A and B are shown apart, each in its own frame.
Chain A
């Protein structure tokens, strides 16, 4: 476990996976898009609007999936003090937030022709909206510290607290909705889904998940490399104004100068 936590191991391990995963993502999404936009039948009730669902449902899935991922990373950082866990959680948040926002946008685009309104205070919509707020809170917290590591750690704690709260929020929103609005709204899961619709949906869900993995790996690599650059700057290796001296002595002195300037 900890062996894998070393940045160099992660970098080495992911380098060969990345191109394959990227190709797989492109294929899955391309195939998914073909089947959902052209290859699938038109719904007899919803017409072409049904095609929004092929984006909407995978996006909703990814929104939840990413949050669970963040919470697991938070737990790992708490229990094992795993440095990579914080970075992973941090890299996941913007992806999850984007998918959640995408889910809400496509949902309201679908709702306008179907329900005649852009937004209803339905339990599902509302809990997705709250999920988006949690993502935004996480990202704001993580970026609010001068020391990035402190930010990631605080974020991991928040992700865990949020994970405890998400079911409570979801459950209370359900309660609240049933109390005020009886189920008069057309439900997404009304008719059973036709097999011809299942295939594009499955392809899109897989494609989105792969896309997330690609972005995650890229972002973690970026963060690790940024850390190395910061570490090298701190070490004074790039300090051009240091006095000529034996190499080791020089970096030692420069390191102290860099520290003193902070």
Chain B
């Protein structure tokens, strides 16, 4: 457990000192969301109709953009080797790194989401569900993304590649995340969608650290 906290603390401290990363993710999220009204036109009804989907897609892209740096910096400066060689299990350390990634990207996105929802004229009924759905969805995005980020270590054009690998795997989160908000807006209970999202989160929580650790060990060979 000390190992988990140690790596979490270090990664958070790094993110803080290097700064800007979280800010850039949120800025990207806001800018992408802002593009949609230009694309579809400023009509209030249409924007309100597509708001939940737009917010989810933008959040997905923003979360994905920051993936590459989860392991890349540690890979390049040799820290990842030492993490692999530490007596603490690599799976636990990866979980710590993923949690740090979520705290610095997922959490700011959740906070920024209602702001964008207001700007897109989303009905207020959906706000609470949007936040809850993102709270369940974004950790799963970080966990799935970590697998992709570990697989591309040492590859050429890693950044583009990771999106190609990870985006198809993000589809279930998108479907149920947007579905939950949609249901709330229609006045239907969104419990079913939220439960499925929780199931996806638990499944990724159980499986992703092992897959990621396997990929990291492979990259060390």
Asked if the two chains touch in their complex, CB atoms less than 8 Å apart, one says yes
The answer, yes or no, to whether B20 is at the interface (CB within 8 Å) is no
A168 touches B200 (CB 8 A): yes
Assembly CA distance A136 to B168 (angstroms): 10
Q: Inside 8 A of B112's CB, which chain A residues have their CB?
A: none
Q: Which of A119-153 contact B (CB under 8 A)?
A: 130, 133-134, 136-137, 140-141, 144-146, 150-151, 153
Assembly CA distance A171 to B172 (angstroms): 9
Minimum CB–CB distance for A180 against chain B, Å: 9
Main secondary structure of the interface of B (DSSP, over half): helix
Minimum CB–CB distance for B182 against chain A, Å: 8
Q: Inside 8 A of A164's CB, which chain B residues have their CB?
A: 207
A157 touches B176 (CB 8 A): no
Minimum CB–CB distance for A1 against chain B, Å: 21
Assembly CA distance A137 to B147 (angstroms): 13
Minimum CB–CB distance for A212 against chain B, Å: 23
Q: Inside 8 A of A151's CB, which chain B residues have their CB?
A: 155
Total number of A-B contacts with CB less than 8 angstroms? 80
Minimum CB–CB distance for B152 against chain A, Å: 7
A161 touches B147 (CB 8 A): yes
- Mask of B154-191 contacts with A, CB within 8 angstroms, 1/0: 11111001001101110110011001001000000000
Minimum CB–CB distance for A87 against chain B, Å: 16
Assembly CA distance A140 to B164 (angstroms): 8
The answer, yes or no, to whether A28 is at the interface (CB within 8 Å) is no
Query: Given the known A-B contacts A145-B156, A150-B154, A154-B215, are A169 and B168 also in contact in the complex, defined by CB atoms under 8 Å?
Result: yes
B218 touches A150 (CB 8 A): yes
Q: Which of these, B165, B171, B196, B200, contacts A141 with CB under 8 Å?
A: B165
Q: Inside 8 A of A144's CB, which chain B residues have their CB?
A: 152, 155-158, 161
Q: Inside 8 A of A133's CB, which chain B residues have their CB?
A: 164, 167-168
- Interface residue tally for chain B (C-beta within 8 Å): 30
Assembly CA distance A171 to B164 (angstroms): 21
Query: Given the known A-B contacts A154-B218, A157-B218, are A168 and B172 also in contact in the complex, defined by CB atoms under 8 Å?
Result: yes
The answer, yes or no, to whether A117 is at the interface (CB within 8 Å) is no
Q: Which residue of chain A is the closest to B182 with respect to CB atoms?
A: A179
Assembly CA distance A202 to B203 (angstroms): 38
Q: Inside 8 A of A168's CB, which chain B residues have their CB?
A: 172, 200, 203
B168 touches A137 (CB 8 A): yes
Residues of B within 8 A of A (CB): 147, 151-152, 154-158, 161, 164-165, 167-169, 171-172, 175-176, 179, 182, 196, 200, 203, 207, 211, 214-215, 218-219, 221
Known contacts A137-B168, A144-B161, A161-B169; 7 additional CB pairs below 8 A are A141-B164, A144-B155, A145-B154, A157-B215, A169-B172, A172-B172, A175-B176
